[in-house]
Amino acid sequence: MLIDEQNFRYTKKWAKNDRTFWQCAERDSRKCSARATTIPDGKITKLSGEHNHLSDIVDLCVKVKEREILNKAVKESKLAPREALADLAASLNTPAMMSKMSNSSNFIRRIHYGRKVNSG
Ligand SMILES: [Zn+2]
């Protein structure tokens, strides 16, 4: 497994001489054709093709933010779940991040569930 600076993941395809050729880990699931070439120390010497999807880092950022706001909303029972949802939307500042956000009713359900669990 190879991970580039933007957190795109690649799986090993083949090696020839001192070059290893990698293809995007999403090749099969998303038909992504991006590729990478590395030299023996693991350094990426060439990236080709465009990824047709977002890198995992966007996903991760959104998940961390959601968790943070969810925890806050669960603790502060006076905060309306709708307001927590608005906070979340406001904190995701790019369309790419917005597109990774959980479904809003699902997010609100998780707040209610968290509060129920917390109250015993
Ligand atoms: Zn890709």
**Whether residue 99 is found in the same domain as residue 68:** yes
Q: How far is the CA of 46 from the centre of ligand 1 (A)?
A: 14
**Whether residue 64 is found in the same domain as residue 114:** yes
**Whether residue 40 is found in the same domain as residue 88:** no
3-class SS of residue 110: helix
**Whether residue 16 is found in the same domain as residue 64:** no
Q: How far is the CA of 104 from the centre of ligand 1 (A)?
A: 27
Distances (CA, A) of 99 to 55, 93, 107: 13, 11, 14
pLDDT at 19 over 90: yes
pLDDT at 28 over 80: yes
**Whether residue 114 is found in the same domain as residue 60:** yes
Tens-digit pLDDT profile for residues 65-94: 999 999 999 999 899 999 999 999 999 878
**Whether residue 16 is found in the same domain as residue 69:** no
Residue that is written with structure tokens 């293809």 in the block: 23
- What is the pLDDT at residue 118? 86
**Whether residue 60 is found in the same domain as residue 95:** yes
pTM of the model: 0.64
Count of domains forming the chain:
2
> CB-side exposure of 4: number of CA atoms within 13 Å?
22
**Whether residue 113 is found in the same domain as residue 61:** yes
Q: Which domain holds residue 77?
A: 56-118
Ion ligand 1: residues, CB < 5 A: 24, 26, 32, 34, 51
Tens-digit pLDDT profile for residues 33-62: 999 999 998 899 999 999 999 888 888 889
